[in-house]
Amino acid sequence: MRKLPVDKVKEGMVLARTLYSNDGNILLNAGIILKNSYIAKFRDLGIWEVYIDDEISRDIVLKDVISEETRFEARINIKNAMDSLRYGYSLEVKPIRNSVCKMIDELMDEKDAMVNMQDLKSNDMYTFSHSVNVCVLSLITGISMKYDEEKLRELGMGAMLHDIGKTRIPHEILNKPESLTKEEFELVKKHTSYGYELLKRSDVLSTYASYIALTHHERYDGEGYPLGLRGEEIHEFARIVSVADVFDAITSDRVYKKRINVNEAVEYLIGMGDHQFDYNIVRSFIEHITIYPPGTCVLLNSGEKAIVVDVNKKYPNRPIVRILADGEGQIPTVPVEIDLTKNNALLISEIIDDI
């Protein structure tokens, strides 16, 4: 199995993972042979990537850190909560808390799990998928920092609800394909204050959730908003959510900006440590990030093209790869797998969309 951009998907390829609509209905089942009409529909729905099975990836297993059922349920729960607020109803907290508790249970069962970002985000579901991803990433960071379950629940609730204030921002501004005007950007920035106001009204949420909503765009160097807090003035929960929020945003395709690869995102986080982010939190965060997830196609410094088949947890930038073509483009008659930790001369030069 491997993830492939829709513009690289060809008729006759096999869908490896079931696709769901925003309301939970099955669009296409795993195992179906794709037609051009299906591929065109992906584009209409704003689906940028799908998972496929083919000759080079059929034996590659992509394991998410939480179950597909838990992820899907959490996405629907945050969608329902945000939709309710948009239509003037009160926030229903219980389903979100249930989802956060399920995530914690699954993550605690496998504390050494490495994060492969497996969630496929369509345009319409981006905000909800983003909220779930930020929650998962924040919880994994909290586990790495030895948080107990009570602290994880507080962190998880705030992470899931960090963008709740966007229910007060018009859709056409949030999804605008061009650059925002100064006035529009100032309005978007208000989602932090809106979120704080919405969450502090709840008599079942702790103050941590509203504080995370208010301060997740503060920067460690004091250049963030809305309060201009600096360093330790920003609560640790908000510092964690800030890292998770930016990481998921820059590794996601949006209508106005193409994503960057995970390895580039990790380099960005490290480079911004103690500027935009708390560097100690960045270090805890990246301990569990798979830089080159299985199924990723890469170009080696030898000119060979390869696919990642497994990761080395202690050396995440040196996975196990299967050679697909040599520097001349010739396909090996017998598959060759190389553990890059055992061959110091070979390095990954870049990620490639397809081979």
CATH number of the domain to which 245 belongs: 1.10.3210.10
Instruction: Provide the residue range defining the domain that includes 321.
Output: 297-351
Q: 291 in a domain, yes or no? A: no
Instruction: Show which of 286, 310, 342 is a domain's final residue.
Output: 286
Q: 301 in a domain, yes or no? A: yes
What are the angstrom distances between the C-alpha of 273 and each of 108, 168, 310?
27, 31, 28
Q: What are phi and psi of 27, to 5 degrees?
A: -85, -50
Q: How sure is the predictor about 63, in pLDDT bands with cuts at 50, 70 and 90?
A: confident
Residues 193 and 327 in one domain: no
Q: What is the mean pLDDT of the chain?
A: 90
Reading the block at residue 238, the tokens are 């908000």
Residue 20: give its domain's CATH number.
3.90.105.10
Number of domains in the chain: 3
Residue 127 above 70 pLDDT?
yes
Q: What are phi and psi of 47, to 5 degrees?
A: -90, 115
At CA 116, angle to CA 111 and CA 121, rounded to 5? 125
Whether 310 contacts 319, CB under 8 Å:
yes
d(CA 141, CA 144): 5
Residues 187 and 79 in one domain: yes
d(CA 313, CA 339): 12
Kindly report which listed range (18-32, 46-60, 229-243) carries the lowest average pLDDT score. Answer: 18-32
d(CA 56, CA 178): 38
Residues 143 and 235 in one domain: yes
Q: 60 in a domain, yes or no? A: no
CA 141, 143, 147, 148 torsion: positive or negative?
A: positive
85-126 per-position pLDDT tens digit: 999 899 999 999 999 999 999 999 876 677 776 555 555 567
Q: 292 in a domain, yes or no? A: no
Residue 262 above 60 pLDDT?
yes
Q: 63 in a domain, yes or no? A: no
Please tell me the predicted confidence (pLDDT) of residue 2. 87
Residues 247 and 282 in one domain: yes
Please tell me the predicted confidence (pLDDT) of residue 354. 66
Q: 242 in a domain, yes or no? A: yes
Residue 229 above 70 pLDDT?
yes
Radius of gyration of the chain (CA): 21
Residues 243 and 324 in one domain: no
In sequence order, what are the residues at sequence separation of 6 or more whose Cβ sits closer than 8 angstroms to the Cβ of residue 272?
282
Residues 211 and 112 in one domain: yes
3-state secondary structure (DSSP) of residue 284? helix
Model-level pTM?
A: 0.89
Q: How sure is the predictor about 255, in pLDDT bands with cuts at 50, 70 and 90?
A: low
Kindly provide the b/e burial profile for residues 143-167, where b requires at least 16 CB atoms within 10 angstroms of the residue's own CB: bbbebeeeebbbbbbbbbbbbbbbb
Residues 72 and 39 in one domain: no
Please tell me the predicted confidence (pLDDT) of residue 118. 56
Q: 62 in a domain, yes or no? A: no
Residues 131 and 23 in one domain: no
Q: Which residue has the tokens 């950007």?
A: 185
d(CA 257, CA 254): 5
Higher pLDDT, 45 or 184: 184
Instruction: Show which of 233, 258, 286 is a domain's final residue.
Output: 286
Reading the block at residue 132, the tokens are 């779930």
Residue 7 gets which letter from DSSP?
A: G
Residue 5 above 70 pLDDT?
yes
Residues 205 and 321 in one domain: no
Q: 58 in a domain, yes or no? A: no
Residues 268 and 309 in one domain: no
Residues 37 and 136 in one domain: no
Residue 77 above 70 pLDDT?
yes
Residues 157 and 303 in one domain: no
- For residues 318-346, give the mean pLDDT: 90
- For residues 281-290, give the mean pLDDT: 92
